[in-house]
Amino acid sequence: MNKCYFCKGKTKIKNLDVDFRWEGKLFVVKNVPVEVCLQCGERYYSAIISKKLDNLVKKQELSNIKPLRVIEVPVFNWQQ
């Protein structure tokens, strides 16, 4: 891609941790190659990467693939 759709800034592929939701569950996948705008931070996921993220979570639920670790995530209600 090399150019951001929104701000026209340059993009670069970086390995990032991705928060990924699947069927009401939150997953964090580490070191995902994502194209990122260096100006505004917009992220672009290739079709291959998106498919691999989907498959990773599906396989994890269907088999005994163990995560590297499990973290606790606090959940807040905006309106109190």
Instruction: Name 55's bridge partners.
Output: none
Interatomic CA distance for residues 10 and 21, integer angstroms: 28
CB atoms within 10 A of CB 29: 17
Place of tokens 């691999």: 52
CATH of region 11-62, choose from 3.40.630.30, 3.20.20.105, 2.30.38.10, 3.10.20.860: 3.10.20.860
CA neighbor of 22 nearest in space, from 44, 43, 64, 50: 50
Q: Which two tokens stand for residue 24?
A: 């009401």
* Domain extents in the chain: 11-62
Residue 79 confidence class, pLDDT cut points 50, 70, 90: very high
Q: Report pLDDT digits (tens) over 24-67.
A: 888 899 999 999 999 999 999 999 999 999 888 887 766 777 88
Residue 22 confidence class, pLDDT cut points 50, 70, 90: confident
Position 76: which residue type? F
